Structure 1
């Protein structure tokens, strides 16, 4: 049995905004230090570039399209936490994102699991984010747009900036998440059994907090505007204001990574990755899930005794993460998992991306340096839109090469069809239906499953609204 294992996931972290992946700004000094100690995978991808989809791969070891509906099925297949618990590990999970909560069955296999509900109504005092929410939802809509509204909004934003200048973040509980994780790990270390801890950090996710120390470190002019809830015009490069806010919040998430790694007891194996990147507006509206590089290309770092301090050009994806962790723990890998140990991957491997939302099905096949992308209504229908990019020579994916690289197009289109055919014949049914912002979560329960409570947990829709999903 190997050492204890710490899995860190950072929401919305694009690989090309990480210093250790070549970004010019010093956004990630702590992650960069981890990269220096471990193996960095240059070509790592989210199989479902969006939180609702990417964690199906991270925890369930499967392609997101293989699971019909939202979240993990309650009983089908095994999660990485279940595999490690059977192997004798203590298991703890810590997350403040409602999409990876017990409501969507992400508590499967965890002895100790803390999600967003832990920070709802745990104090009789009105907390900062409660005040923020009250003003935004109850006061703001009652004031007509105009000069008075603009003056009050400017004052409100100034108050939030002042409060957040002290280190608080009105919409994040990452500091508390790390506190909970460190406390649990300290107790777990008193046992003679190793542990598996998963810690998910949200500070790179909007609404963006105001952190003057990080803005200073990134040489952002003091008079430059701060943006909390971005809105972009798709098709244009992101503004400096948006990039500044995103980078600043990445650096704050990185600070939580640094504290976690400094204060964790023992010397656990560390795996760090992201569920997806961030769409800053070049292809779609802000934070819109897609299979473009902006959302799909993520960091993946493994710091373990079995891994050298090196860079790997293997093409890997999130489905490989649980398989790799299971192998490090000398555990049996479930046959139902789709991934491979990253040590067995090469740059000749093909990666499949795909997810289903209310708009249809988006898929991609990556065989470096090529990416074939398509959009279709259902798994049973033909692609309506097809694109082919050489994302190495064309990193912004602007030149469709289908007509100029017909051989590559046909090869990847065939791989796509084989992938879709295999997925169609072997899908798992989640108890919760597809979700979109217009739906009340209480309506997402599959009618055929009477064993699943349909009542929405207190605060889940509210938390999703805080994060800009509703």
Structure 2
């Protein structure tokens, strides 16, 4: 671990379902991220960071606990025995605050562990007694949100668009009007900024006892479907978008499912990119507050995503049980005053690295930057030593991982530094052109910079891609 003397503040901004290749600072032609493009000029930008799963539950479990999704009790809900980055930071004197509106990383799934302030927008503090009772039932019974999803998304008798409508009706009328399902980035940022003002900005630097360093996490959901951007964001990217269709999407969010059914890829990408533009605006607004309050200089910022989004590259939309590049390849940058001053070994402002990293290395990397020893439960390594040439190995871990093969009752062992992603979807696997497929899908992705192998553990077979000649992962070369 690289030791540092300063107790930097840490801000982690995660953007749900954000693809690496839809960011301007990664070469995307559209003007989706002008503010992040500016920040990237003085950031350390990572070009080969991959999520450990194609959706929020497995990915965030690894991000916060530095463990593989299948290990140590699984990933949904977050097992009590898995130590989180927030718990470690709090134990070392940091103020901790988390703000999210994704049900999958809410307090239902134990993601409030270690956060002294936690907002998840699901109505856990609602004044409505019926709301509190229903939510308490999901928590106390151990079913949590899975009970809701399995009932409304796992019904074979309804196609996806009907299930989606039923789920929203349930939230609105049964759990109470106080429920905010996906709060826009504006609302999440406003709450985080308010917390910062009262817990840090308004406290004088001389009052060191009260002005403790902080670890703050914000999770944006705008780029998660349904995509319902503001018109002014959409018009900046495609002023010719059908206004009538836009008004219909705004009024009936489930209409985005109709666009998927009809393979309206271009319209969906327009809406998605416009949502990203809105998130980019909020990030610029948030960073300006740090500069104006003189806190930017002692703060390390990380911007990344939990997974990507598929737009029919491999026969589907959204982010289900697939492990292809469009779902696993995520943007990643680290910036801030300490990076610009060169105080963190290996992180050089204005540079890019092509090292292969797992997103599960996030938590130990954060601890490394602030000089905190990672707990023994963390299985993955910090990225910093590889960047600082302190180690030639940039892998996630050096041991092997034992993954049960439920088809043959044998054990398949892989070098853990090459295992990038795992996923398990059970009972809620959905396609947009048919009823639900209730079969289990357990898959593992193994890769380096040259090749990638995706193993379907239920079928007992896999596909191999030559990433140098086929970065889009279209041609199986295993034969």
Question: What TM-score, normalized by structure 2, do the two folds share?
Answer: 0.69
Provide the C-alpha distance between the structure 2 equivalents of 1:107 and 1:299, rounded to a whole number of angstroms.
Answer: 25
Aligned equivalent of 2:367, options 326, 332, 339: 326
Cα distance, 1:184 vs structure 2: 1.1
**Contact 2:229–2:278, Cα closer than 8 Å, also in 1:** no
**Contact 2:52–2:360, Cα closer than 8 Å, also in 1:** yes
Aligned equivalent of 2:193, options 182, 186, 206: 182
Provide the C-alpha distance between the structure 2 equivalents of 1:64 and 1:46, rounded to a whole number of angstroms.
Answer: 11
Match of 2:453 in 1: 372
Match of 1:295 in 2: 327
**Contact 1:326–1:332, Cα closer than 8 Å, also in 2:** yes
Cα distance, 1:219 vs structure 2: 3.4
Cα distance, 1:372 vs structure 2: 0.6
Provide the C-alpha distance between the structure 2 equivalents of 1:348 and 1:71, rounded to a whole number of angstroms.
Answer: 29
Provide the aligned length of Structure 1 versus Structure 2.
354
Taking only aligned residues, the RMSD between alpha carbons, in angstroms, comes to: 2.7
Match of 2:226 in 1: 207
> Which 5+ residue runs of structure 2 have no aligned equivalent?
1-5, 129-179, 204-209, 339-343, 387-391, 396-417, 427-439
Aligned equivalent of 2:302, options 250, 268, 271: 271
Measured against aligned partners, the alpha-carbon deviations of 1:307-349 in whole angstroms (never above 9, x if no partner) come to 2121000111211110100111211111221222212347974
**1:45-64 map, 5 Å:** 45-64=50-69
Provide the C-alpha distance between the structure 1 equivalents of 2:29 and 2:393, rounded to a whole number of angstroms.
Answer: 25
Provide the C-alpha distance between the structure 1 equivalents of 2:262 and 2:356, rounded to a whole number of angstroms.
Answer: 29
Aligned equivalent of 1:198, options 209, 217, 220: 217
Cα distance, 1:5 vs structure 2: 0.4
Provide the C-alpha distance between the structure 2 equivalents of 1:122 and 1:390, rounded to a whole number of angstroms.
Answer: 56
> Which 5+ residue runs of structure 1 have no aligned equivalent?
124-168, 378-382, 404-470
Aligned equivalent of 2:97, options 92, 106, 109: 92
Cα distance, 1:120 vs structure 2: 8.0
Identify which range, 14-23 or 188-197, moves more after superposition.
188-197
**Contact 1:234–1:284, Cα closer than 8 Å, also in 2:** no
Aligned equivalent of 1:252, options 257, 278, 294: 278
**Contact 1:347–1:368, Cα closer than 8 Å, also in 2:** no
Provide the C-alpha distance between the structure 1 equivalents of 2:103 and 2:113, rounded to a whole number of angstroms.
Answer: 15
SS at match of 2:284: helix
SS at match of 1:54: helix
Match of 1:427 in 2: none
Match of 2:376 in 1: 335
**Contact 2:368–2:384, Cα closer than 8 Å, also in 1:** no
Structure 2 residue 455 is matched with structure 1 residue 394: no
Provide the C-alpha distance between the structure 2 equivalents of 1:182 and 1:301, rounded to a whole number of angstroms.
Answer: 21
Provide the C-alpha distance between the structure 2 equivalents of 1:240 and 1:234, rounded to a whole number of angstroms.
Answer: 10
- Gap change, CA 1:348 and 1:109, over 3 Å in 2: closer
**Contact 1:60–1:80, Cα closer than 8 Å, also in 2:** yes
